[in-house]
A and B are shown apart, each in its own frame.
With several copies, the nearest count.
Chain A
């Protein structure tokens, strides 16, 4: 009998601390599968964020660095500049990447830093117990938007792929979702493309995963995926926002 699905090698055996049904686990696996398939585990250096994924350093089998909150792109820049042959990636939440780390994100992209950024947008600060994130939807209730996010005072959610695509250094930017089998499979392709972008030396790549946080949204895991589909996807349209690969240059872009 042939094994047609098992844990990728680039994931360790450590059980994760994530809540039941948290999509962080799916995204971890996709990245690990791509590291396996591209043979990158030995040359990869991953950078874990501050956020629910802070302990990603225990879950990926490649060398890992734990970054200060929001600074993962700067840490990754340091690694990549020191070791240009390493396959360097960050794994970051929306608070980490789009709030405190805004400057580091924008400038890593503007520099065309040759790294991959995996961005988990779950519209909330998961780790700290459910505060409003820069990507929290208008009207969404969180611990710090108890009356629903009021755009008049709390402002508007940031669409990260759109923002970064205006920068010349961004080589590849795609938004994916992990709410169903089809989207998870598409997400994996995006992850692979991101790594390929780095291997080709084309510069900064980002994959934004529209994700769920059942715990802080207050839903069951499958309810959370429905909410994601119905509320987040309209605000955060999926698609390739930028792709400078030769191949893509032929194709149309959204």
Chain B
């Protein structure tokens, strides 16, 4: 089963992955900041992921791992 994982410590909450995801799998944390002060990206609809890698391709911080 496709699986997308986000390393919240590396994530800077830029939102580019969510923007790139064709399936709306990802969304920024609403009320949470990571150690660096950014709201980390969250996998909000894991079941919809197709492992297309679009999110990871756009992530500037290598915060995303995609498995299948």
Contact flag (A, B; Cβ within 8 A)? yes
Q: Which residues of B lie under 8 Å from residue A222 when comparing CB positions?
A: 15-16, 19
Q: Which residues of B lie under 8 Å from residue A22 when comparing CB positions?
A: 14, 60
Instruction: Sort chain B's interface into a size bin.
Output: 20 to 34
CB-based contact A16/B16 at 8 Å: no
- Where chain B touches its partner, the secondary structure class is loop
**Contact (A181, B60) CB under 8 Å given A1-B67, A2-B67:** no
CB-based contact B16/A21 at 8 Å: yes
CB-based contact A21/B12 at 8 Å: yes
Nearest-Cβ distance from residue A165 to partner chain B, whole angstroms:
28
The interface size of chain A toward B, counting residues with CB under 8 Å, comes to: 30
Which one, A23-31, A88-96, A133-141, is touching chain B? A23-31
**Contact (A21, B14) CB under 8 Å given A1-B68, A2-B67, A15-B9:** yes
- Residue of A5, A7, A23, A185 near B60 (CB, 8 A) is A23
Q: Which residues of A lie under 8 Å from residue B20 when comparing CB positions?
A: 180-181
In the complex, 30 of the A-B residue pairs with CB atoms within 8 angstroms, ordered by the A residue number, are: A1-B1, A1-B68, A2-B68, A5-B56, A6-B62, A6-B66, A7-B62, A7-B65, A15-B9, A15-B10, A16-B60, A18-B12, A18-B60, A19-B12, A20-B14, A21-B12, A21-B16, A21-B60, A22-B60, A23-B60, A25-B59, A25-B60, A25-B61, A26-B59, A29-B60, A181-B57, A214-B14, A221-B14, A221-B15, A222-B16
